[in-house]
């Protein structure tokens, strides 16, 4: 806890000396060493919170057996005669201890409530305030750990740990050497996005998360600690395991506390390393894609979330121990509030004697970084929930989910601001004018931050096209006999591809034979009609039959001619988007993959309507952007666009908005649908219907030494002017609150 330095002069404890101040009997006490400091750790078994006290603070706690504040102060002077403890400081500290729920009869606890009941009540309240992180009641894992810990002791051998680290480094080198392939396959998520594959991937990921939590529990047990609870929680509506190893803070050795915190991350990194090696030696298939997903989840996401010290996960506790600052989040927030209070009032609260100026600046920097990151994460989650609510017309449900989160966030910020209140002694020592000017300055800064116009950019999905582009499709199905290579310059009427349809050839042969037979019969009937008049009556029917067959033959020949695909315009030939085979299609002998212009697809069967290629300008490009009805209002002709383009200088191509379609699209480009850059109706693929009205924007790109690859799906940022944070918030609320009660 904080040092005894922020005192109100008067408090109910000071005016009620007869009240009994008794420390709770169920609290757990441990003495730990933090660098050159000795601290006392007290765990509240009801709330599972930990509190840290210096030797002097613990002296006061140790005599809370019903004595009055005056008797407590006398006992403190007996142990620390050279230190002066004012009554104001003592009353402030005792009030803080009482608010923390460490005294009998504190507001947080009652003497009759059981620990499980109190935990359940606290968990229910936390679930209401944070519906995106709901923790279900767990079970005591002692029996599981008693069975598991002896069987995993070999893991903690130095040789085993060394080999595991070398294995992780080896896998990282493999991924680094094949980085281009790795990121290319990562973008091709449609290869494992089928329902069956996703089920397997989710199951494997769930198993890895179980291993993560068990690694914490086993490591804590290995070092003599205890795991009090293990259960299931829903984090952003995703079920996962949680394991309460908070008792690790009772460990006296820092290295063991760090090992317990890092055990889950190391376990996942080892799983990721194994999956990376398997990924590198397997070919395209279910195992290959499962390994790729495990590598991403168990390495990148683990390091970004569990290993991130700016959120209260594993990385936070590791950093807290490395810096030897227990309760890092609370201490950094207190340091930031002290600095803001000093800027506003001129009062400089003296930090703990254990903290130097450098440590104070470090705490302030961490508090700012943590607050900023937390706001970004919470904002992204809220934005995603409301975007889904808008898309699926579930705005009310979105607000029901996010409103408790906003309430909890505002309440927490209010508590932080409340720590800057001036005590009676401080109010007497400062001039009111200075305080008013200071707080008005902070208020003006906040208002200015909300009202100052800032550059406003929106990110939209984009697809590159050739100027005067014409797409070529297969009109008649057949087996591919020949095709030009990509990059061939063609003129109007030049052959692009030749297909062969065996069924069509056989049908033509059959029709020709039928026509010949009818011609021969007509000749015989015509020669016999002079001998027998009845033959004359057959001639009209035979003539009609021959005409019908000839019409079929003409139709089939036109279809046969369509098997020869010619260029509808002059220009350069560009391949259509590559095709990825599904698990069922990969077993077919005549299935094609990649692009139809690649030689290995000769002989493959091509169905009707398949996109064969596109023909257009060799270098001139235009870009089509897609904007929803909520975004199209910001876009105007002449606005600048920055398009992400791999292979181009700087990785970007710049352009200008030239045209905005007045009518929404009825079908979306298949490339953008596959890459999940646009929202479509559930259960539909390529040519899918947009989930919401979507408009096309034409962009003229600047000349570039490296032309954009045709039909490249990418993203573009459009500079749509300037807008204040308040304006953006009001627009967001207007979109989110615009709902209809009538069906």
Beta strands in 255-330 (DSSP E): none
Of the candidate ranges 46-55, 163-172, 191-200, 267-276, the one whose mean pLDDT is the lowest: 191-200
Identify the CA nearest to 678 among candidates 628, 611, 712, 644: 628
Q: What is the pLDDT of residues 480-523, one digit of tens each?
A: 999 999 888 999 999 999 999 998 889 888 988 888 888 888 88
Q: What average pLDDT does the segment 244-259 reach?
A: 81
pLDDT for the residue 269: 92
**What is residue 500's predicted lDDT score, i.e. its pLDDT?**
92
- Angle (CA) 737-738-740 rounded to 5° is 115
Residues 6+ away with beta carbon under 8 Å from 109: 24, 46, 101, 118
Beta carbons within 8 Å of 452's beta carbon, 6+ residues apart? 724
Q: Which helix (H) or strand (E) holds 232?
A: strand 229-235
pTM (predicted TM-score)? 0.61
| pLDDT score for 14 | 40
- The CA distance from 725 to 449, in Å, is 7
pLDDT in tens, 297-355: 888 778 877 888 888 888 888 888 888 887 788 888 888 888 877 777 766 665 555 55
Phi-psi group of 513: left, alpha or beta (phi > 0 → left; psi -120 to 50 → alpha; rest → beta): alpha
Nearest C-alpha neighbor of 643 from the set 652, 635, 634, 651: 652
Residue 634 has pLDDT above 80, yes or no: yes
Residue 62 reports pLDDT greater than 60: yes
Looking at 502-629, list the stretches that DSSP marks H as alpha helix, in order from N- to C-terminal side. 502-528, 539-562
Range with lowest mean pLDDT among 95-104, 374-383, 415-424, 505-514: 415-424
Closest CA to 39 of 226, 247, 252: 252
Per-residue pLDDT reduced to its tens digit, 136-190: 777 888 888 888 888 888 888 889 999 999 999 999 999 988 887 887 777 665 5
Is the predicted pLDDT of residue 377 greater than 80, yes or no?
no
- Confidence bin at 270 (pLDDT 50/70/90): very high
Top mean-pLDDT range of 163-167, 285-289, 442-446: 163-167
Q: Which of 6-10, 102-106, 179-183, 453-457 has the lowest mean pLDDT?
A: 6-10
pLDDT score of 205 more than 60 = yes
Do 442 and 599 contact (CB within 8 A), yes or no? Answer: no
Higher pLDDT, 1 or 475: 475
In this model, does residue 434 exceed pLDDT 80? Answer: no
**pLDDT at residue 689 is higher than 70:** no
Confidence of residue 198 (pLDDT cuts 50, 70, 90): low
In terms of Cα–Cα distance, which of 591, 615, 625, 648 is closest to 719?
625
The pLDDT of residue 2: 36
Percent of the chain with pLDDT over 70: 76
What span, in angstroms and rounded, lies between the C-alpha atoms of 421 and 506?
93
Q: What is the pLDDT of residue 687?
A: 46
Q: Find the Cα–Cα–Cα–Cα dihedral 347, 352, 358, 359, rounded to 10°.
A: -120
Give the pLDDT of residue 427: 63
- The chain-wide mean pLDDT, for the chain, equals 77
**Top-ranked range on mean pLDDT: pick from 9-18, 46-55, 150-159, 426-435:** 150-159
* Region 596-600 average pLDDT: 87
Q: Which residue has the higher pLDDT, 386 or 139?
A: 139
Q: pLDDT category, 112, cuts 50, 70, 90?
A: very low
pLDDT of residue 83: 65
Taking the chain, what is the end-to-end CA distance rounded to the nearest angstrom?
A: 55
User: pLDDT grade, residue 589 (50/70/90)?
Assistant: low
Segment of 10-24, 293-307, 631-645, 691-705 carrying the highest mean pLDDT: 631-645
Nearest to 430 by CA among 343, 308, 332: 343
3-state secondary structure 266-281: HHHHHHHHHHHHHHHH
DSSP state string for 108-129: T--SS--HHHHHHHHHHHHHHH
Rounded CA-CA distance 323/365 in Å is 14
Kind plus residue range of the DSSP H or E element containing 34: strand 28-34
Q: For residue 83, which phi and psi values (nearest 5 degrees)?
A: -90, 140
pLDDT reported for residue 273: 93
CB 737: neighbour CB atoms within 10 A?
Answer: 11
The per-residue pLDDT for 484 is 92
Distance CA 673, CA 664 (A): 16
Q: What percent of the chain has pLDDT over 90?
A: 8
pLDDT of residue 276: 92
Q: What is the DSSP string of 426-453?
A: HHHHS-HHHHHHHHHHHHHHHHHHHHS-
What's the confidence (pLDDT) of residue 17?
Answer: 41
| The pLDDT of residue 165 | 92
- The predicted-structure confidence for 601-619, as pLDDT tens digits, reads as follows 888 888 888 888 888 888 7
Pseudo-torsion of CA 223, 226, 232, 234, nearest 10°? -70
Say which range, 40-54, 123-137, 165-179, 421-435, has the weakest mean pLDDT. 123-137
User: All domains of the chain, ordered by start, with CATH?
Assistant: 12-113 (no CATH), 126-324 (no CATH), 327-452 (no CATH), 458-468+617-723 (2.40.30.170)
* Cβ pair 492, 567 in contact under 8 A: yes
pLDDT band at 421 (very low <50, low <70, confident <90, very high): low
Q: Which residue has the higher pLDDT, 101 or 533?
A: 101
């Amino acid at each position: 806890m904080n040092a005894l330095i922020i005192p109100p002069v008067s408090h109910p404890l000071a005016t009620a000396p007869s009240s009994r101040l008794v420390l709770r009997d169920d609290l757990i006490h441990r003495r730990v060493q933090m660098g050159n400091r000795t601290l006392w750790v007290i765990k509240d078994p009801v709330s599972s919170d930990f509190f840290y006290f210096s030797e002097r603070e613990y002296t006061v706690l140790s005599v809370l057996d019903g004595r009055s504040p005056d008797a407590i102060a006398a006992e403190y002077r007996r142990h620390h005669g050279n230190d002066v403890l004012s009554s104001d400081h003592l009353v402030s500290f005792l009030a803080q201890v009482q608010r923390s729920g460490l005294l009998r009869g504190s507001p947080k606890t009652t003497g009759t409530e059981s620990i499980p009941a109190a935990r359940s009540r606290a968990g229910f309240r936390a679930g209401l305030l944070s519906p995106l992180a709901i923790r279900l009641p767990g079970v005591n894992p002692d029996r599981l750990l008693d069975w598991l810990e002896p069987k995993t002791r070999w893991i903690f051998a130095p040789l085993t740990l060394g080999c595991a680290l070398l294995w992780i480094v080896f896998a990282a080198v493999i991924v680094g050497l094949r980085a281009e392939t790795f990121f290319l396959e990562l973008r091709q998520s449609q290869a494992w996005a089928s329902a069956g594959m996703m089920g397997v991937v989710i199951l494997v990921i769930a198993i890895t998360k179980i291993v993560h939590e068990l690694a914490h529990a086993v490591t804590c047990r290995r070092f003599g600690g205890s795991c009090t609870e293990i259960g299931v929680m829903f984090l952003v509506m995703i079920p996962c395991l949680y394991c309460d190893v908070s008792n690790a803070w009772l460990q006296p050795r820092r290295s063991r506390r760090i090992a317990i915190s890092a055990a889950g991350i190391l376990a996942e990194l080892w799983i990721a390393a194994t999956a990376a090696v398997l990924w590198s030696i397997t070919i395209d298939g279910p195992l290959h894609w499962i390994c790729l997903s495990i590598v991403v989840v168990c390495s990148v996401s683990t390091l970004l979330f569990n290993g991130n010290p700016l959120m209260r996960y594993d990385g936070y506790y590791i950093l807290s121990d490395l810096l030897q600052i227990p309760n890092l989040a609370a201490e950094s927030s207190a340091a930031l509030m002290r600095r803001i209070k000093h800027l506003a009032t001129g009062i400089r609260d003296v930090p703990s004697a254990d903290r130097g100026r450098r440590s104070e600046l470090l705490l302030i920097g961490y508090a700012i970084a943590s607050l900023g990151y937390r706001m970004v994460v919470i904002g992204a989650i809220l934005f995603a929930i409301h975007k889904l609510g808008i898309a699926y017309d579930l705005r009310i449900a979105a607000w029901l989910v996010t409103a408790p989160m906003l309430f909890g966030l505002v309440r927490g910020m209010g508590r932080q601001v409340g720590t800057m209140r001036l005590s009676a002694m401080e109010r007497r020592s400062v001039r009111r004018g200075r305080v008013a000017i200071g707080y008005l300055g902070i208020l003006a800064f906040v208002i200015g931050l909300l009202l100052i116009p800032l550059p406003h950019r929106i990110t939209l999905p984009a697809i590159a096209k050739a100027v005067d582009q014409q797409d070529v499709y297969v009109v008649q199905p057949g087996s591919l006999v020949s095709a030009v290579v990509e990059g061939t310059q063609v003129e109007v009427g030049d052959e692009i591809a030749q297909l062969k349809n065996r069924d069509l050839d056989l049908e033509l042969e059959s029709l020709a034979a039928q026509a010949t037979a009818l011609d021969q019969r007509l000749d015989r009937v015509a020669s016999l009609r002079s001998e027998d008049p009845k033959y004359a009556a057959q001639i009209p029917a035979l003539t009609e039959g021959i005409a019908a067959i000839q019409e079929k033959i003409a139709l089939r020949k036109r279809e046969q001619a369509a098997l020869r695909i010619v260029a509808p315009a002059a220009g350069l030939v560009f391949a259509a988007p590559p095709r990825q085979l599904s698990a069922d299609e990969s077993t077919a002998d005549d299935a094609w993959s990649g692009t139809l212009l690649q030689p290995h697809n000769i002989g493959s069967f091509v169905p009707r309507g398949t996109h064969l290629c596109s023909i257009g300008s060799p270098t001139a490009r235009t870009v089509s952007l897609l904007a929803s009805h909520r975004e199209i209002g910001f876009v105007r002709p002449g606005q600048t666009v920055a398009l992400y383009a791999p292979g181009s200088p700087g990785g970007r191509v710049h352009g200008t908005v030239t045209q905005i379609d007045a009518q929404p699209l009825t079908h979306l480009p298949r490339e953008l649908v596959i890459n999940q850059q646009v929202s479509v109706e559930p259960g539909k693929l390529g040519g899918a219907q947009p989930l919401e009205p979507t408009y096309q924007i034409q962009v003229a790109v600047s000349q570039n030494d490296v032309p954009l690859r045709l039909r490249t799906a990418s993203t573009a940022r459009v500079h749509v002017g300037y807008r204040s944070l308040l304006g953006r918030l009001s627009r967001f609320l207007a979109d989110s609150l615009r709902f209809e009660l009538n069906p």
